[in-house]
Amino acid sequence: MILSTLVFLPLLFAFIVLIWPNLKTVRHLALGLSIAEFIVSLGMLENFNPQSASLQFVEKFNWIERFGIQYFFGVDGISLWLVLLTTFLTPVIILASWSSISEKLKGFHICLFILQTAMLGTFLAMDAVFFYAFWELSLVPMYFMIGIWGGARRIYATVKFFIFTMAGSVLMLVAIVYMMYLTQEATGHMSASLLEFYKLKIPFVGGTFFSVQTLLFFAFALAFAIKVPAFPVHTWLPDAHVEAPTPGSVILAGVMLKMGTYGFMRWVIPLFPEASEYWAWLFMLIGTVGIIYGALVAMVQPDVKKLVAYSSVSHMGYILVGLFAFNAYGFSGGLFQMLSHGISTGALFILIGMIYERTHSREISKYGGLAGVLPIFTIFFFIITLSSIAVPMTNGFVGEFLILIGTFKAQPAFAYFAVSGVVLGAVYMLWMFKRVFFGAQGELVRDEKHPLKDLNAREIAVLVPMVAMVFIMGLAPNYFLNYSKASIDNLVNSKNGYSLTLTENAQSILDFVPGNAPSGASDGSANVSKITPEQGDN
Amino acid sequence: MNFSIGLRDLLLVSPMIAMFILSLIPLTVKVLRGNQEQNSYVTLTQGLLGIVAAVVLVAVFGGAGKTAFNNSLIFDGITQLISIIALVSTGVAMIMMYENPATTGKQFSELIFLTMSSAVGMLILVAAVDLLMVFIGLEMMSLALYLMIAMSHEEKLSKEAALKYFILGSFASAIFLYGVAFIFGSTGGTNILGFMEKAPELIQTSRIFLFGISFVILGFCFKVSITPFHAWTPDVYQGAPTPHTAFMATAVKAVSFAAFLRVIATKSLIGSEHLFDILQWLAVITMIVGNTAAILQNNLKRTIAYSSVAHSGYLLVGVITAGISDSGVFGASSVIFYLIGYSLMTLGAFAIASMLERSEDHIVNIDDLAGLAKQRPMLALCLTVFLLSLAGIPPTVGFFGKFYLFNAAIGEGLLWLAIWGVLNSVVAVYYYLRPIVVMYMKDGDAQISNRSLNATTAVVVVMAAAIILMGVFSGPFFSIVERSLL
């Protein structure tokens, strides 16, 4: 039951916040609850078996029996760290928003907890319709978060965000229903289970757009590409980021964008292997263009937050390139980059939020010489900057390095261009750093009437875990990669006949429900017998 | 012909009889009191009593596929479910009438009587399989409605709406009757069960029959506001008192779709390629027109009116699916499930519009909602649930309704209709989000009506909860619907 607990605990928390009588202690309450959630997720990590590529802690019940739609949670090496990233960032966000969110406190924390449920559900759901429900649900709290607590153009930004993402995902829904009918054709009974989808052999014809697999591939890929966001459907992101309140930006950059890349890894590539391979050049191309375009646009932004937003486009481009290299380096680099981008960009947004609280401006030109005034802040900012430009020993380096190795092995032509992003990334980040922290003191910095105060204990407490993660992930990447290695190897080795098995561990015996568990068990064993000959062929 | 009427027939129509008799109570009391209005609360209770009695009787006696009165009425799953939808919507609409400034107070007894008469017409319409019975039900329902709208305390728009509705409604009825005449001419009967077997053949061999069935379908298109026959909808919906609008948009639409399903069950679409193509295009055009026109509106009721046109388009997809599939059960049950969800969310949205009306001629614009979240957080939350459900965001019933509807369509190979449907629901998101934006993200001092609104509030909260619960547990609900149609 650990995964259900993990997903639906925040919903319960939202309810507790709703009925909590004392408005003054809502923040403390929310912080405590989110830490409890993090501890639960650590408990899951503790019991996770890194050697296994199969789905663990599986919970499988019939939800809508008529269509074979299941309440189906499971975690493997691909989703494990994304879950932990989500639960790790939430308390940090609550602590970071301690003083910046002062209105409608309850509403804010309720949104945050509902969003957490939706995001965790997206990462853990293994049934297409179940997944889709969480995927769409995540839009609603984010929509409110940007719309209520956001900046001046928040309404434009939030509506754009909602409609863009929704527009991408409705075609995915049609594709899901279509695939449910394909399972009915193949097995005689309809199912929306991802494991059943993996078993489908969807006909693929190269050279034409109108073959079944290609169309399904694009229906899914569009939904995820908008979420990533890949060039040229990235335009909602800068608006949403700039207008969102700090906690909203952190969640958006830290976790929600990963829902897109996770979708590619979990759904698109294993479900449509031939189409993915055939159209890999396209996604490599938009990934590479995204890297360079994002970096170039970031360079000229006058607004720090917008600069970081565009840097996200660039960093997410790396992940896309890495995933479509289809080798172990690319996949593990992509996965690692998802985590490290979540940490470093999340931290950047928090830092920008902190300085914004002090000066109420994000204009780079109004700063300068901040290093002399706010030394502690500068140190933190510098570490995160280094992590963002992927300096060795920080988390950013590992991901980008692995991705570039993978790309050089698979498609060197794209790697030549993608590698330029490393240099460009250094250019825009360091140039921004120079303009903000060094040189002559800007008008906001030397403002005598409003002397700037350096970070207080709470703010340091927010940043310390983030910086710690930067170094832990940079120095001991293997700790993280080992957990996902088995899953990624499985994905690489059996990409054209991908399947997942269910672990028969103590957890699922505990969940034994007459009528449900036996079918789950037979599913698993059928997968095992099916995968072995195919692996032999490879 | 044998005219003997058995007890069984009477039991089957007992909901209509009970409803009719109970509808006379408020009217009689008023007459006996010397034309003095009794306490509206008592009138409302009498009305709701009729609804409850009818629901119980429908649940007890209907639903076994029995026919009554020489096969002119049928009591199967469709009858039972749609009757219940219509009756519940009527009940909710009555509660809204009780608290809406345009309908409460003087002449409330007459209003309740007319509402219940209209509901009797609906029960007949839902059960009718003889086209003449359909016509009787249709007219009984509509005539009461024309009067109800014209009776509003508001002096200008409602009169215009009543006249418009009367003229266009009569026009639609005439078209329908014209079609029935042609069907009678080609088959020698008006009973759908009579010509059901041979309809797909007949439609190919007999031009007269094709003509007749097309006109009958056209008549329904008017009633359920399929573009290009939807032009009356926004004006009438806006002009009528809000409770009546809610009544028209849910109960009337549900029963009209039920009758539509009866006609489509003749498999005429399989016989006639052209009719099939035309209906598909009508569905697409209806969705597009409804959604794009709704974007341009500022008036809350008009926005929901256009949204209900768009929803007719989605529903037509389901009707077409039911018309071309072999058993038709999946398509029909998806339509019915959608109607259940649609009725809940539309009633809810109109109920909130009704609560915002402070006087009988108060026009509520979307911008008037500004600040509602601060003033009345519960109402704002409920309206948000209704709008998100209309937009089809999981886990509301609106999402699952669309999911089943398009699932059925894809299963019958109507993939392109499903794609049009989902793309349209993206367009729709824009205008469904607008009231939410205004409520939560703009400052203002939204005032709700200062009369007592306890009953409407309670109903609204129950419906919002039902929308979420029916969404999360939609599987069992859908199975119940589907099983009752088998």
Say which of A64, A170, A177 has its CB closest to residue B425: A170
* CB pair distance less than 8 Å for B415 and A69: no
Say which of B395, B411, B440 has its CB closest to residue A181: B411
User: Which A residues, 172 through 231, put their C-beta within 8 Å of a C-beta on chain B?
Assistant: 173-174, 177-178, 180-181
* CB pair distance less than 8 Å for B478 and A180: no
Q: For residue A530, is pLDDT > 80?
A: no
Whole-number mean pLDDT of chain B?
A: 89
pLDDT in tens, B50-62: 999 999 999 888 7
Say which of B403, B418, B426 has its CB closest to residue A163: B426
* CB pair distance less than 8 Å for B441 and A155: yes
Q: What percent of chain B has pLDDT over 70?
A: 99
A 10 A CB-CB count for B83 gives 29
The alpha carbon of B146 is separated from its chain's Cα centroid by a whole number of angstroms, namely 16
pLDDT in tens, B362-412: 888 888 888 888 888 888 999 999 999 999 998 899 999 999 999 999 988
Alpha-carbon gap, residue B21 to B57, rounded angstroms: 14
Alpha-carbon gap, residue A395 to A469, rounded angstroms: 8
* CB pair distance less than 8 Å for A162 and B433: yes
Taking residues B101-107, what's their average pLDDT?
Answer: 82
Cβ-Cβ contacts under 8 Å between A and B: the total is 81
Give the chain B residue whose CA is nearest to the CA of A147: B441
ipTM above 0.95, yes or no: no
**pLDDT for the residue numbered A505:** 52
Give the chain A residue whose CA is nearest to the CA of B483: A66
Instruction: With beta carbons under 8 A apart, name residues in chain A contacting B410.
Output: 174, 177-178, 181
Q: For residue B190, is pLDDT > 90?
A: no
Higher pLDDT: B371 or B92? It is B92
Q: Which residues on neighbouring strands pair with residue B68, listed in sequence order?
A: B73
Comparing CA positions, the residue from B464, B325, B346, B460 lying closest to residue B405 is B325
Tokens describing residue A417: 């261009």
User: Nearest C-alpha of chain A: how many angstroms from B472?
Assistant: 9
pLDDT in tens, A347-390: 999 999 998 888 888 888 888 888 888 889 999 999 999 999 88
Give the chain A residue whose CA is nearest to the CA of B476: A64
In this structure, chain A runs to a length of: 538
* CB pair distance less than 8 Å for A137 and B426: no
Identify the DSSP state of A272: S
User: Which B residues, 375 through 434, put their C-beta within 8 Å of a C-beta on chain A?
Assistant: 388, 393-395, 399, 403, 406-407, 410-411, 415, 418-419, 422-423, 425-426, 429-430, 433
Taking residues A141-156, what's their average pLDDT?
Answer: 88
Best residue in B397, B405, B417, B433 for a mutation probing chain A (most A CBs within 10 Å): B433
Say which of B411, B426, B475 has its CB closest to residue A64: B475
Q: What percent of chain A has pLDDT over 90?
A: 42
* CB pair distance less than 8 Å for A170 and B433: no
Q: What angle do CA B440, B443, B449 make, to 5 degrees?
A: 80
Q: Which residues on neighbouring strands pair with residue A69, listed in sequence order?
A: A64
Tokens describing residue A58: 């599986």
A57 phi, psi to nearest 5 deg: 55, 40
pLDDT bracket for residue B3 (50, 70, 90): low
In this structure, chain B runs to a length of: 486
User: Nearest C-alpha of chain B: how many angstroms from A383?
Assistant: 37
Helix, strand, coil shares, percent, chain B, to 5: 75, 0, 20
Q: Residue-wise over B401-420: b if at least 16 C-beta within 10 A, else e?
A: bbbbbbbbbbbbebbebbbb
**pLDDT for the residue numbered B475:** 87
Tokens 């009794």 label which residue? B38
pLDDT in tens, B261-307: 888 887 777 778 888 899 999 999 999 999 999 999 999 999 999 99
**pLDDT for the residue numbered B248:** 92
Residues 6+ positions from A427 with CB-CB distance below 8 Å: A295, A299
* CB pair distance less than 8 Å for A155 and B419: no
User: Which A residues, 66 through 125, put their C-beta within 8 Å of a C-beta on chain B?
Assistant: 66-67, 69
Tokens describing residue B407: 């699932």
The alpha carbon of A179 is separated from its chain's Cα centroid by a whole number of angstroms, namely 25
**pLDDT for the residue numbered A537:** 39
Alpha-carbon gap, residue B112 to B103, rounded angstroms: 10
pLDDT bracket for residue A535 (50, 70, 90): very low
Identify the DSSP state of A301: -
Instruction: With beta carbons under 8 A apart, name residues in chain B contacting A222.
Output: none
Q: Is A461 on the interface with B (CB under 8 A)?
A: no
Tokens 């108060």 label which residue? B362
Q: What angle do CA B396, B398, B404 make, to 5 degrees?
A: 110
Q: For residue A52, is pLDDT > 90?
A: no
pLDDT in tens, A298-328: 999 999 999 999 999 999 999 999 999 888 8
Alpha-carbon gap, residue A348 to A49, rounded angstroms: 33
Alpha-carbon gap, residue A444 to A362, rounded angstroms: 10
Say which of A134, A147, A170 has its CB closest to residue B426: A170
Q: For residue A67, is pLDDT > 80?
A: yes
Q: Is B150 on the interface with A (CB under 8 A)?
A: no
pLDDT in tens, A200-253: 888 888 778 888 899 999 999 999 999 988 888 888 998 898 889 989 999 999
H-run or E-run covering B78: helix B77-99
Give the chain B residue whose CA is nearest to the CA of A137: B394
pLDDT in tens, B335-363: 999 999 999 999 999 999 888 888 877 88
